[in-house]
Amino acid sequence: MRNNRTISNRRHQKARSLVVLMSAILLAPGPVLPQRQRENRSDLSEDQRIVHLLNRIAFGARPGDIERVKAIGLRTYIEQQLSPEKISDSLAESKVKHLETLNMSTAQLYDKFPQPGQLIRELQRQGLLPQELAEVRRESGPNPNMEMQRSPAPQNAMDNEKVRRAIREYYEKNGLQPPQRIMMELQASRILRAVYSERQFQEVMVDFWTNHFNVFAGKGADRWLLTAYDRDTIRPHALGKFSDLLLATAKSPAMLFYLDNFQSVSPNMQARRGLQPRAPIFRPGAPNGRNNEMQRPQPQRARRGLNENYARELMELHTLGVDGGYTQKDVQEVARCFTGWTIIAPRGGGALQGLRGAVARQNAGTFFFNPRVHDDGEKIVLGQKIQAGGGIDDGLKVLEILANHPSTARFIATKLVVHLVADEPPAALVDRVAATYKRSGGDIREMLRTILYSAEFNSPGIYRAKIKRPFELAVSTLRTLGAETNGGPQLHRWIAQMGEPLYGFQAPTGYSDTAEIWVTTGGLLERMNFGLAIAGNRVPGTRVDLKRLVDNSESDKSETMDRLLKVILAGELSAGTRAALLKQLNDSAPSLAAPASSQMDRDTDGPRRQILRAGNVNDPVARMVGLILGSPEFQRQ
Amino acid sequence: MDRRFFLRSGGIALASISASLAMPSFLHRAVLAQAGVVTGSRRKTLVAIFQRGAVDGLNMVIPYAERTYYDLRPTIAIPKPTSGNPDSAIDLDGFFGLHPSLSSLKSQWDKKRLAIVHAAGSPANTRSHFDAQDYMESGTPNIKSTRDGWLNRLLQSNAQKERPLFRAVSVTQMMPRVLQGRAPALAISNLANFSVRAGQASARVQGGFEEIYEQVTTDQLGGTAKETFEAINYLKKVNPAQYRPENGAAYPRSRFGNSLLQIAQLIKAGVGLEIAFTDMGGWDTHVNQGGSRGQLSNLLQQFGAGISALATDLGNRMDDVVILTMSEFGRTVRENGNRGTDHGHANAMLVVGNSVRGGKVYGAWPGLKSDQLFEGRDLALTTDFRAVFAEVAHRHLGNKNLSSVFPGYSADGSKFCGFLGQ
C-alpha cells in the first residue's frame, strides 16, 4: 500500500540491507546442494520424489506435471519455484482478471461495497435517506452489525425481506454492491491461483503465511481490509525476508484491526494532556458537535487506552512462540511501543467532510502513525532499552529485536518443517533450518532450500504421510483431474464444510497444521462427499471431463481403473484398496455420460443451499473417481 | 492403533456375542450403559448453549428493583412487572424479572427447574467478542495458548471404559472451540444430511468406501472412517427426518430450534450422549436493541421457546439433563446513543433441569450504582463462569478432575453456587 511504504524507516532499511549483503557473501557460491547425500539416503524412486515434491511445494500434480518436472529435473524445478517472479503466469492472471476487487484500494472498496447499515445511517445523517429505506428503517432497523454473526438471527422475516429489497434497489440504482462480494472474490482468487498458477510454491507459501499471520474476515472492518492484506502484505514477501513480512503485517490495516492495535493509545496520554484522547488527524471528526453516526458505536471509545492484543500475539504467535522467553511486562512494553500504529478512517471514510475529510476518504483503510497517541516514554523490551522519544521507531525497533531473536528462528523453522515435512518435525532438520534463519538474516527462500534439499524431506517415512488440509484437498482434487473452475462460492462452501473456511478462523493461532484436527468423522465424510460432487460434476462453477482422463472408453474395466489411479494417485495404493475399487467398477459397465456442462458458469450469489449436493453418481467411472478422491490415499500428501 | 479404536473393536465382539438385533456396537454399549449394566449409573447429559455476540443480560433477567436500571436505559428498559401489561417484566422474586419474550420459561421457573446465575462471567476484562468467546470456550480466561476447549477436557478427564460415538455432539457446522481437543467429538449440523450423498448410488458408494477404509484400520484415518460409517448407519435407522416431538413441544422454526430438536432426538435415541452443544447468534445489539419488543425481544422469544420446547419434549428425561446457557460478556448498563448497548462485562446464565434447584437467582448482586459498576460502566462480576461450569461438571456429570478441566483455577465446592444438589 502506498502509505505503508512512504512511512518507513531509513535506519531500519539500512540495517536490513547490511544483513542482505552479509548473507549474500556467506552464500556466495550459490545454494549448496547436497545432491550426492540425497541420492544415497533416499529410498524413494525418482517418480516418487517428483510426486512428493509436487504434493508439498505445489498443490499436487496436474495431468502431465510429473513428466514436465522429470524433463527439467527436480533441482531446476525447485529453483524455478523459488524465483516465482521469473515464471510467466498468464493463465492464472487471466483467470482472476475479472475479479475487479483484487485491484481496488481499500478506500475504493469502502465506496463501492458499503455496509448496508452503515450506509443507511450515513444517508440518514445527511438527510438523504430515500423514502422507502426510511420507512423500513423505522419499522425494524436493519441489522447494523458489522461483526459477522455465525448464524444470522432470523428476525421478523417479513421485515427483513422488505429491508433487503429496499436496500438491494438502492444499491442497484447507485452502482453499489454488497460487501460480501469482496470476500467472495478474494476467496475465488486464492482458489484460482492455487489451481492454475505456475508459481505453485509461491501459492503454497501464501497459504502458509496467511495462516501464520491469521486474520479473521468476521472481525469488524477486516473484510474490507483483507484484499490489500493478500495483495500488498503477504504476497510480496511470501518468499522474501521474514523481517520484511513481519513489518508488512505489523503495518497492515488488516492486522491492526484484527488485533485491535489501531485503537491502542498511550495510557499516559490523558494524564499528560489532561483531556480525552483527541482524534487523530485523519480520524473522522464530529462536525458541529453532532455524534458521528457513520462510525459504528465503538464500545472501546469510552475506555481507550493501551491494548495488548497485538503485542501478545506478535510474540506468542508471529515470532518467539509461546515459550519464547517473554514476560507479561514485555507484552505491556511492546504494546506501548506500538501505540499510534493505527488506520486512517478504519471503517471507511463515507462520512468525512471538508478538505481533511477528502484526503482521509481517499486514504481510508491505510496505515497511519499517529504521534499524538503514541507513548513516547522509555521502554525496555526483552532486556533492551528503547530510548524515549523514538516515535514510530519504537515499533520498528521491537520488530527488529523480535526478528533477530533466536526463539523466532526456531519457532519459524519449526512451523515451516511441520508444514512441508511432517507433523512431528525432525529435530535435526529444525536445528538446521533455524541455523539457516540466523545465518541468512531470516531469508525465507534459504530456509526453504535447507528443507527441500535435506535428507529428511526425501525420507520414505514422510512420503504421503501428511494429511491434506481441506483447502489443499480441494485444490489438489481440481488439479489432478484437470478441472475447469471459476473458484466460485460453491467451492468456498465445500471447503468450509470440510472444516477450513478461508479467512474464517476466528482465533489468531490460525488453523492447525497437524492431522488430528483434520481427521474427524464429520470432516472425513465431507471429504468423501466433496470427491463425489466433483466427480459427478455437481459443483456449480466447476467442471471435470472424465472422458478426457480415460480417453478410450472401450478399454478393459481394470485398465480404466488403473489409468484413473495413475492420474490421481500415481498408481500407488494397496492391493486391498485396488480390489475394493475393482469390485465397484464391476458392478456395471463403464459408460460415460456427458458432463453436465449446463451447470458451468451458472453460479451466483443466490440463496444458500442447505445441503451441498453430491448428487446422483450413477456413472461408474464418476463413482470410481469419487471413491479414489475420497480414499485414504488421496487424503494424504 | 489408538486406544479409542481398540476399545471400539472390543465392543463389536461384545455386541455380536450378545447376538441382539443388528444394532451398531456403540449403540449396543450405550444401551447397556443406560440400563446401568456397564457404568452402574444412568447417563447424564449436559446441553450447552452459547449465545454468541453477547446477550444483554440486564434485559434478559431484569433487575427491575434497581432504580438506576431505569435511569440509565430511558428507551430500552423493560417496565416493572404490572399485571395486565404484557410488555412488562415477568416477576421472579420481587427483585428480578424475566423479559416478557421469555414467558415460555416461566413454567420452568415455577416448577423450580430454572435457576439463574446473575453477574456471572469471565474475570478477563476484554470486550472483544473473539477474545471473550475464546476464553469462555477454552475455559482459561486471559490465556490464549490453551489448545483445547473445556468441554473437551471434561471428556478427556472423565475416565470411562465406554466411549460411545455420540458421547459429545456439537450441532453446528464447525467443531466449536469449546469441544476441540483430543477427546473424540462430532460436529453435525444436520443429522439427516450426515451421510454419503451420491443420490441413488449412495448405498453402493458407501459400501465402496467402507471396503476401502477397512484396508487402513491401523491408522487414524481408518479408525475415524469406521466411526463415520457407524454413525451414518445408525442415523439411517433413527430416520431423523421423521422425528416427531413429544408432549406437544413446539420448537421454533429456525436453525436454533432445529438444533435443539436434533439434540432431543439424540438424547431419546439413547446413544450415550453426554455433552451436546449448539449456539445462536445475533445478540450484538449495538443499535435499535428494542425494549419489550424489537430486535432483542425477537431473539429472546426464539431462545426461550427453544429451551422450553426441549424441556417439554424430553419430559421425564430432563431428570438426567441439564441445559446451561452462556454468552461471552454482558452489555453496558447505560444504553448508547443508538438505542442499543455496547460491550460490557458480567452477564446472566440460565440453568434448566429437573435436578436443578430452580426458582432462584443465584450469585451475589453487585448493584448498578456508578460506584458499584465495573470500570464505572458495566455490571460487575461476582461469579466466575468457571464456578458455574465446574458445578455442572462435578455435580451433574460427576467429574472428579476439575483441576484438569480448569487448569489454574481451584474449582472447589466452596465456589459453587448450589443450583445443583450434592
Q: Check residue A603 and give its pLDDT.
A: 34
Q: Which of A97 and B144 is assigned the larger pLDDT?
A: A97
pLDDT at A382 over 50: yes
Residue A159 has pLDDT above 80, yes or no: no
The SS3 call for residue A17 is helix
- Cα distance between residue A520 and residue B225, in whole Å: 8
B3: left (phi over 0), alpha (psi -120 to 50) or beta: alpha
Eight-class DSSP state of A262: G
Q: Is A442 helix (H, G, I), strand (E, B) or coil?
A: coil
Q: Mean pLDDT across the stretch A328-355? A: 88
In percent, how much of chain B has pLDDT > 90? Answer: 65
Q: Measuring CA to CA, which residue among A435, A457, A458, A456 is closest to residue A446?
A: A435
Q: What one-character-per-residue DSSP string does A275-302 give?
A: SPPPPPTTS---GGG---TTSPP-GGGG
Query: How far out from the chain centre does Cα A66 lie?
Result: 27
* pLDDT tens string A557-586: 788 888 889 889 988 888 888 888 888 777
Query: N- to C-terminal Cα distance for chain B?
Result: 39
The pLDDT, as a whole number, for residue A270 is: 56
Higher pLDDT, A144 or B260: B260
Q: A632–B284: do the CB atoms touch at under 8 Å?
A: no
Q: Do A524 and B224 touch (CB under 8 A)?
A: yes
Q: How far apart are CA B66 and CA B89, in angstroms?
A: 13
pLDDT for position A549: 83
The answer, for A304 touching chain B at a CB cutoff of 8 Å, is: no
Are the C-beta atoms of residues A256 and A310 closer than 8 Å to each other? yes
Residue A589 has a pLDDT of: 43
The reported pLDDT for the residue numbered B42 is 64
| A631 close contact with B: CB closer than 8 A | yes
pLDDT at A352 over 80: no
pLDDT confidence of B19, banded at 50, 70, 90? very low
Predicted confidence band at B163 (pLDDT cuts at 50, 70, 90)?
Answer: low
Contact between A525 and B232 using a beta-carbon 8 Å cutoff? yes
Mean pLDDT for the stretch of residues A460-486: 96
Q: Contact at 8 Å (CB) between A546 and A451?
A: no
CB contact A289 to B (< 8 Å): no
Q: Are B46 and B274 in contact (CB under 8 A)?
A: yes
- Confidence band (pLDDT; 50, 70, 90) for A614? low
Q: Which of A467-471, B5-9, B139-143, B144-148 has the highest mean pLDDT?
A: A467-471
Q: How confident is the model at residue B145 (pLDDT cuts 50, 70, 90)?
A: confident
Contacts of A147 in chain B (CB under 8 A): 53, 129, 284
Whether the predicted pLDDT of A545 surpasses 90: yes
Run of H or E including A5: helix A2-6
Cell numbers that stand for B117 in this block = 446465575
A495, with CB counted inside 10 A (0-12, 13-18, 19+), is buried
In chain A, which among 307-346 make CB contacts under 8 A with chain B?
A: 309, 312-313, 316, 322
Q: CA distances (Å), A353 to each of A122, A285, A294, A364, in order?
A: 12, 8, 12, 13
Of A616 and B413, the one with more pLDDT = B413
Share of chain B above pLDDT 70, in %: 88
Average pLDDT over residues A591-606: 36
Contact A445, A239 (CB under 8 A): yes
Place of cell 525497533: A397
Range with the largest mean pLDDT of A445-449, A495-499, A508-512, B229-233: A445-449
Which among B193, B216, B342 has CB closest to A611? B193
Q: Note the helical H segments in B270-408.
A: 295-314, 385-391, 402-405
Q: What is the pLDDT of residue A587?
A: 67
Q: What is the 3-state secondary structure (H, E, C) of A575-599?
A: HHHHHHHHHHHHCCCCCCCCCCHHH
Cβ contact, residue pair A583, B190, below 8 Å: no
Question: In the prediction, which pLDDT does A605 show?
Answer: 32
Q: What one-character DSSP code corresponds to residue A467?
A: B
Name the one residue in this structure whose C-alpha cell is 538446521: A432
By C-alpha distance, the chain B residue nearest A312 is B144
Of A296, A532, A613, the CB nearest to B286: A296
Chain A residues within 8 A of B338 when measuring between CB atoms:
144, 293, 297
- pLDDT at position A304 is 63
Residue of A nearest to B288 (CA): A141
Q: Extract the C-alpha cell encoding A277.
A: 484522547
- The overall average pLDDT reported for chain A is 82
Q: How far apart are CA A18 and CA A11, in angstroms?
A: 11
**Number of residues in chain B:** 422
pLDDT for residue A596:
39
d(CA B140, CA B409): 8
Report pLDDT for A583: 82
CA distance A525 to A499: 11
List of chain A residues whose C-beta atoms are within 8 Å of the C-beta of residue B180 = 517
Is residue B30 predicted with pLDDT exceeding 70?
no
Per-residue model confidence as pLDDT tens digits over B298-357:
999 999 999 999 999 999 999 999 999 999 999 999 998 888 898 899 999 999 999 999
Under an 8 A CB cutoff, do B187 and A520 touch?
A: yes
- Decide if A533 contacts A615 (C-beta within 8 A): yes
Q: B93 with B105: CB under 8 angstroms?
A: no
Which pLDDT belongs to residue A506? 75
Say if residue B229's pLDDT is above 60.
yes
Nearest CA of chain B to the CA of A94: how many Å? 34
**CB nearest to A581's CB, from B212, B225, B228:** B212
Choose among B273, B191, B268, B287: nearest CA to B235.
Answer: B191
Query: Where does the pLDDT of residue A615 fall: very low under 50, low under 70, confident under 90, or very high at 90 and above?
Result: low
- B402 CA to centre of own chain: 18
Average pLDDT over residues B380-384: 98
| B239 Ramachandran zone, left/alpha/beta (phi>0; psi -120 to 50) | left
Q: What would the mean pLDDT of A435-442 be, rounded to a whole number?
A: 98
Cα B396 from Cα A545, distance rounded (Å): 56
Q: Cβ contact (<8 Å) for A532 and B204?
A: no
Residue B282 pLDDT level (bands cut at 50, 70, 90): confident
**pLDDT over threshold 80, residue A1:** no
- Find residue B393's DSSP bridge partners: none
- CA closest to B232 among chain A residues: A525
d(CA B366, CA B330): 14
Q: Which residue has the higher pLDDT, B397 or B31?
A: B397
Q: CB-CB: which of B194, B221, B283 is closest to A635?
A: B221
In angstroms, the CA A368 to CA B333 distance is 34
Sheet strand arrangement including B90-91 = B61-62, B97-98, B90-91
Calculate how close chain B gets to A130, using CA atoms only, in Å.
20
Q: Taking CB atoms and an 8 Å limit, are B295 and A141 in contact across chains?
A: yes
- A281-285, A391-395, B252-256: which range is least confident on average? A281-285
ipTM of this complex > 0.90? no
Q: How far apart are CA A351 and CA A349, in angstroms?
A: 6
CA distance A536 to A545: 10
- pLDDT-based confidence at B183, cuts 50/70/90? confident
pLDDT, averaged across chain B: 87
Closest C-alpha among B261, B258, B177 to residue A512: B177
Q: Which of A299, A521, A529 is opposite residue B343, by nearest beta carbon? A: A299
CB-CB under 8 Å, B377 with A297: no
Q: How far apart are CA A556 and CA A236, in angstroms?
A: 50
C-alpha cell at A123: 444517508
Calculate what percentage of chain A has a pLDDT beyond 90. 57
Q: Half-sphere exposure of B419 toward its Cβ, with a 13 Å CA cutoff?
A: 33
Q: Which residues from B are below 8 Å from A316, CB to CB?
A: 144-145
Q: Do A627 and B213 touch (CB under 8 A)?
A: no
Q: In this predicted model, what pLDDT tens digit does every residue of B244-268 receive, in sequence order? A: 999 999 999 999 999 999 999 999 9
pTM for this entry:
0.78
Q: What is the mean pLDDT of residues B218-244?
A: 85
3-state secondary structure of B54: coil
In B, which residues are within 8 Å of A138 by CB distance?
Answer: none
Chain B nearest-CA distance from A495, in A, is: 12
pLDDT at A345: 92
Hey, is A368 helix, strand or coil?
strand
Confidence class for position A39, pLDDT limits 50, 70, 90: very low
Residues 6 or more apart whose Cβ sits within 8 Å of residue A423: A466, A513, A514, A515
**Contact yes or no for A444/A355 (Cβ under 8 A):** no
Q: B133 pLDDT band (50/70/90 cuts)?
A: very high
Contact A539, A491 (CB under 8 A): yes
Average pLDDT of the segment spanning B153-163 = 80
Q: How confident is the model at residue A202 (pLDDT cuts 50, 70, 90)?
A: very high
pLDDT band at A507 (very low <50, low <70, confident <90, very high): confident
Instruction: Determine the Cα–Cα distance for residues B145 and A308; give it in Å rounded to an integer.
Output: 15
CA distance A473 to chain B (A): 15
**B213 chain-A contacts, CB cut-off 8 A:** 632
How close B78 gets to chain A, by Cα (Å)? 18
Tell me, yes or no, if A38 comes closer than 8 A to chain B by beta carbon: no
